[in-house]
A and B are shown apart, each in its own frame.
Chain A
Amino acid sequence: MSEVHLELTNVGIEFPTPRGPFRALRDINLKIDQGEFVSLIGHSGCGKSTVLNIVAGLYEATEGGVLLDGREVNSPGPERAVVFQNHSLLPWLSAYENVELAVDQVFKKSKTAAEKKEWIEYNLKLVHMDHAMHKRPDEISGGMKQRVGIARALAMQPEVMLMDEPFGALDALTRAHLQDSLMEIQKALNNTVIMITHDVDEAVLLSDRIVMMTNGPNATIGEILKIDLPHPRDRLALADDPTYNHYRSEVMRFLYEKQRKVEH
């Protein structure tokens, strides 16, 4: 399991603006193993989403590059599925049809119609959405939409799953529920996941490693914290666990002492 799956080498990016180039990121070096769950945490504006978008291929790095299994990443593709912050489901398609669009695209020839149907239903069941799979996004709650978004990403059978604050817009209870689902699924399928989060508890609970980023502009990786807690993790049991709380305070210290955000 120690073979490097995804590798970011000296990644940096500059955006052209009318007032000259704006440097968002520099010197991002990160190696991620197959099946690893990595969180990116940092204050807003630190370029977390930019890192994710570069891995997704939606942005092109101006320096350095990304290798996935030794191949260079330079355009978006379904092997790097993205779960977007605001679900980004097509509002005119039902949950089933949203997943179907992805499945039709990825398994165009490799699955028969019946196999596709089964696979779509399997993935919706995985996120506990099988009861409402023929509802449209405007007929289901925010948490349910995000579940469908995750099902869509899982259904692409991605090599890396990229999650951009997937639970940011949800209430605390729904979020906890979805985190548990995500842990379960990730351990079962052994997906490689990069997740952006603002939430310290979420990061410690879910991750194998937490990548903490310095403040932008010109942001880079500040510290990487390895979370050595056994799986499966139980949020109640961990609440009083000294190791868990230690990791938690490490992240907090980084965010609120070393990288205190200066509000303008």
Chain B
Amino acid sequence: MNPLKWPTIEPFYKLVIGENRKGQLNAIVKMVGLPLTGIFVFLLIWQGAASHIHTSLGQFPGPQQTYEQFVSLVDEAKASSLKEQAFYERQYVRNEKKLAANSEAEVKVRDYTGPPTFFDQIGRSLVTVISGFLLASLIAVPIGIVIGLSSNAYAAFNPIIQIFKPVSPLAWLPLVTMVVSAVYVTDDPMFDKAFLNSMFTVLLCCLWPTIINTAAGVATVTQDLKNVSQVLSLNWWTHIRKIVLPCSIPMMFTGLRISFGIAWMVLIAAEMLAQNPGLGKFVWDEFQNGSSDSLGRIMVAVVVIGIVGFILDRGMLMIQQAVSWDKSATLR
């Protein structure tokens, strides 16, 4: 693939080589100018509205304050990383000294236990949402295929799915918490319980849209193609691989993207409710903290949550484009 032909790059390239300058300028204005204008107008409205809202924690943060808080969060993260480095250096030097004095000495290597920074929380949330989503997809896609293949299986499973689908996963959260603490008992846990709680909550909300859309996608396999498969005497697995999967991928990805979107929203709420580390906890902690910076920091989190969600969805779209046979289909 030629990067110069990418729709985001092509107009700039053509402008430089002087091909239909006017057309390229129009394209660039539409691609870059209009979205920027939209964002600018939004910032103006935000600023205007924020200056009129006064809370017990001071003025509602506008774009300016939000940006300042973002910078301060970056600085804190940098400072924390320096601290961590210094901690490990001190520990190393101390241990070396001990060993130099007595080569038999027992040295302890301890992990740094400073508070997580804002960026640690983002990473934590991402890991949770992605693992919950992947695990759910591994369960839901095969179930969706089986249900889509057989009208009997569909009739059997459909009521259960329809009942569980509208349940907010947060309603599951207390149950998940209790079950995890009862069932996951080990001396040397690979995952901490807070992580498992959030992950299973995410998993529960990711199942239903994926199952339903996968089943619907499988049901779009036409009788003609089923006949072809029968005449060729394809075995079950080849039938799935060569006919059912390619046919159902567009619908399947619709379900996966809905699931991922819901998962990201649910995760933030779950982290707030259950005090599981992540962006949700960051928001909650700032709210409880109640300093004059808190609202600004929460606003940073809001924007970051939005941007991360957007990037995740784009990522899914790119995967869909890569695996779907119909490259001409419009994806949005």
Contact = CB atoms under 8 A, between A and B. Distances in A.
Interface residues of A, number: 24
A238 interface: no
A101 B232 contact: yes
A86 B233 CA distance: 20
User: Helix, strand, loop or mixed for chain B's interface?
Assistant: helix
A81 B242 contact: no
A140 to B, nearest CB: 15
Contacts of A93: 242
B236 to A, nearest CB: 13
Given A91-B325, A92-B246, A84 B233 contact: no
Interface stretch (A9-17, A72-80, A115-123): A72-80
B325 A88 contact: no
B188 interface: no
Contacts of B247: 92
Contacts of A138: 328
A105 interface: yes
A80 B232 CA distance: 9
Contacts of B231: 56, 58, 76-78, 80-82
B326 A88 contact: no
A90 interface: yes
A92 B232 contact: no
B224 A84 contact: yes
B225 A88 contact: yes
Interface in A82-141: 82, 84, 86, 88, 90-93, 101-102, 105-106, 136, 138
Contact of B232 (A58, A78, A84): A78
Contacts of A105: 232-234, 238
Contacts of B326: 91-92
B233 A77 contact: yes
Contacts of A80: 231
Nearest to A158: B231
Interface string B221-255: 00011011011111000100011001100000000
A57 B227 CA distance: 10
Contacts of A84: 224, 227-228
A98 to B, nearest CB: 9
A76 B234 contact: no
B224 A86 contact: yes
Interface string B297-332: 000000000000000000000000000011010000
Interface in B145-178: none
B267 to A, nearest CB: 34
Most chain B beta-carbon contacts within 10 A, residue among A58, A88, A91, A138: A88
Contacts of A92: 246-247, 325-326
Nearest to B234: A105
13 contacts: A57-B230, A76-B231, A77-B233, A81-B231, A90-B246, A91-B326, A92-B326, A93-B242, A101-B242, A105-B238, A106-B232, A138-B328, A156-B232
Interface of B: 224-225, 227-228, 230-234, 238, 242-243, 246-247, 325-326, 328
Given A88-B224, A156-B232, 9 more contacts: A76-B231, A88-B228, A91-B326, A92-B246, A92-B326, A93-B242, A101-B232, A102-B232, A136-B325
